[in-house]
């Protein structure tokens, strides 16, 4: 479908929804938003990719690959070619992307050793005090360092440690009764999403302890990530949570 509109900034924006067949035997519905600047096609279009069936990391990978393709078509109309390309190659991009975010920076893929990092987003905590205590206990038992971060309604857990401990933490988080439901009955965490799981790189600083912190503004939270050398992680995963 095409939805054409002309924003205040010049140029044209339009959304295209395509269905890509035979990906793990299901149809993937892909929403592509193109913004063509005034001097298109001698300037690359802005592209954003969304799909309910793909993770945010996979959507970012599809977008990166589309921009790589766009560079090959610079100065000639390219939208039609890009749509054909994504219909033919989505399967490969998603396969490569897997669930580990940003494999481009993973030096030794598939290794169990090395320090790993996990970023989780929680939707809410009803029994906050008990929940926080549980997370602190798990982090301590599994020798994981990092932060449990609260900023307005955003709740993030950032962990660093052995890959096996990170995996064990994820199992605990998904299978234990950590919170209470609306009728105050104990319940498991159903509203958690794994934003990123990747190997810690040399530019990332190691957290020495596990701390629970509250931030009054987004800038404070951003500074926490920047201090840890995780600016890219912040900009890729945190701002979308505010939408």
Backbone φ and ψ for 2, nearest 5 degrees, come out as -110, 125
Delimiting residues of CATH 3.10.110.10 domain(s) in the chain: 12-99
Q: At what angle do helices 79-97 and 56-72 cross, to 10 degrees?
A: 140
| Domain at 115-241, CATH class | alpha beta
- pLDDT tens across 8-29, in order? 456 677 788 888 865 556 678 8
Task: State residue 120's pLDDT score.
Answer: 92
Give the lowest-confidence range in 43-52, 87-96, 218-227, 233-242.
87-96
% of the chain exceeding 70 in pLDDT: 86
Q: Look at 25 and 229; give whichever has higher pLDDT.
A: 229
Task: State residue 144's pLDDT score.
Answer: 94
Task: State residue 222's pLDDT score.
Answer: 94
* Mean pLDDT, range 143-155, rounded to an integer: 93
Helices (H), the chain: 56-72, 79-97, 128-141, 163-175, 218-227, 231-237
- When the pLDDT of each residue in the chain is averaged and rounded to a whole number, the result is 82
Tell me how far CA of residue 228 lies from CA of 181, 201, 208, 213, 223, in angstroms.
Answer: 34, 11, 11, 15, 9
Q: Per residue in 185-211, is it b (16+ CB within 10 Å) or e — as a string? A: eeeebeebebbbbbbbeeebeebeebe
Q: What share of the chain is helix, strand, coil (3-state, %, to 5)?
A: 35, 30, 35
- pLDDT tens across 163-218, in order? 889 988 988 888 888 877 788 888 887 778 888 888 887 777 888 999 999 999 99
The CATH architecture that domain 12-99 belongs to is Roll (3.10)
Contacts 24+ apart (CB under 8 A), 105-108: 105/198, 105/199, 105/201, 106/198, 106/199, 107/199, 107/201, 108/199
Task: State residue 82's pLDDT score.
Answer: 92
* Mean pLDDT, range 225-241, rounded to an integer: 88
Task: State residue 112's pLDDT score.
Answer: 44
For residue 27 the two structure tokens come to 């149809």
| pLDDT surpasses 70 at 221 | yes
* DSSP-derived 3-state class of residue 228: coil
Delimiting residues of CATH 3.30.70.100 domain(s) in the chain: 115-241
Task: State residue 137's pLDDT score.
Answer: 92
| pLDDT surpasses 60 at 101 | no
**Dist. CA 1–CA 215, nearest whole Å:** 42
- CA 238 to chain CA centroid, Å, is 8
The dihedral through the CA atoms of 27, 33, 39, 42 has a sign that is negative
Q: Which of 32-41, 132-141, 169-178 has the highest mean pLDDT?
A: 132-141
| pLDDT surpasses 70 at 88 | yes
Residues ≥6 apart with Cβ < 8 Å to 3: 14, 15
- State the burial class of residue 32 (Cβ atoms within 10 Å of its Cβ: 0-12, 13-18, 19+): buried
């Amino acid at each position: 479908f095409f939805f054409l509109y002309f924003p205040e900034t010049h140029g044209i924006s339009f959304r295209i929804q395509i269905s890509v067949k035979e990906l793990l035997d299901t149809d993937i519905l892909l929403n592509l938003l193109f913004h063509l600047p005034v001097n298109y096609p001698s300037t690359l279009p802005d592209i954003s990719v969304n799909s309910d069936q793909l993770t945010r990391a996979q959507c970012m990978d599809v977008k990166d690959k589309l921009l790589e393709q766009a560079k090959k078509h610079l100065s000639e109309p390219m939208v039609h070619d890009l749509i054909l390309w994504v219909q033919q190659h989505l399967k490969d991009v998603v396969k490569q992307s897997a669930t580990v975010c940003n494999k481009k920076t993973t030096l030794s893929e598939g290794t169990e050793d090395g320090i790993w990092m996990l970023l989780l987003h929680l939707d809410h905590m009803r029994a906050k005090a008990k929940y926080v205590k549980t997370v602190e206990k798990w982090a301590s038992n599994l020798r994981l360092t990092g932060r449990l971060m609260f900023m307005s309604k955003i709740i993030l857990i950032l962990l660093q440690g052995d890959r096996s401990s990170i995996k064990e933490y994820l199992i605990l988080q998904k299978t234990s009764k950590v919170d209470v439901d609306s009728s105050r009955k104990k319940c498991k965490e159903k509203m958690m999403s794994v934003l990123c799981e990747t190997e810690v790189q040399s530019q990332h600083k190691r957290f020495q302890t596990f701390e629970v912190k509250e931030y009054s503004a987004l800038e404070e939270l951003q500074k926490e990530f920047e201090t840890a050398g995780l600016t890219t992680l912040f900009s890729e995963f945190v701002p979308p949570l505010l939408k």
